[in-house]
């Protein structure tokens, strides 16, 4: 199972805890994880990426294995540690302000 860590505001919106476990079929990519996440928790539709273009919202970041993957292609395969569930896929609200 893939482990996804959500920011606090989205945990409340989706009614879940800090970590969500997802089953992802096929290649494990940003897109496949977000597709599975939105299918399981429709309240998150539009909060991470545009509903239609699927473009990542400007103040959302994706981290895993101590790397910032935000600018990677949404169809690039994520590290094996994420695919195996050993490491979580982190969804972060960008730090802003002072």
Partner 1 sequence: MSGVRVLVGTRKGAFVLTSDGSRKSWRIEGPHFAGWEIYHVKGSPADPKRLYASQSSGWFGQVLQRSNDGGKTWEAAGNDFQYEGTTGTHTWYDGSPHPWEFKRVWHIEPSLSDPEMIYAGVEDAALFASRDGGSTWAEMPGLRTHETAPSWAPGAGGLCLHTIVIDPTNPDRVFIAISAAGVFRSEDAGKSWQPANRGLRSNTMPDEDAEVGHCVHRIAIHPSRPNTLFMQKHWDVMRSDDGAESWREISGNLPTDFGFVIDVNSNEPDTVYVVPITSDSHHFVSEGKLRVYRSKTGGDDWEALTKGLPQKDCYVNVLRDAMTVDQLDPCGVYFGTSGGQVYASADGGDSWDAIVRDLPPVLSVEVQTLK
H/E segment holding residue 67: strand 67-68
Q: In a 3-state reduction of DSSP, which class is residue 15?
A: coil
Say how many residues make up the chain.
Answer: 98
For position 47 contacting partner 1 by CB under 8 A, the verdict is: yes
- The upper half-sphere exposure of residue 52, i.e. CA atoms within 13 Å in the direction of its Cβ, equals 0
Q: In angstroms, give the least distance from the CB of 83 to partner 1.
A: 26
Given 1, 39, 46, 86, the residue binding partner 1 (CB under 8 A) = 46
Q: In angstroms, give the least distance from the CB of 86 to partner 1.
A: 28
Return the DSSP state at 42. Answer: G
Q: In angstroms, give the least distance from the CB of 14 to partner 1.
A: 9
Q: Which residues bind partner 1 (CB under 8 A)?
A: 7-10, 12-13, 42-43, 45-48, 51-52, 57, 59-60, 93-94, 96
């Amino acid at each position: 199972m893939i482990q996804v860590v959500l920011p606090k505001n989205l945990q409340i919106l989706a009614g879940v805890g800090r970590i969500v476990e997802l089953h992802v079929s096929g290649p494990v990519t940003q897109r496949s994880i977000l597709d599975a996440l939105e299918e399981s928790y429709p309240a998150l539709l539009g909060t991470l990426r545009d509903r239609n273009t699927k473009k990542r919202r400007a103040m959302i970041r994706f981290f895993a294995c101590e790397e910032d993957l935000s600018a990677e292609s949404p169809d690039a395969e994520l590290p094996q540690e994420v695919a195996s569930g050993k490491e979580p896929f982190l969804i972060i609200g960008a730090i802003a302000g002072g």
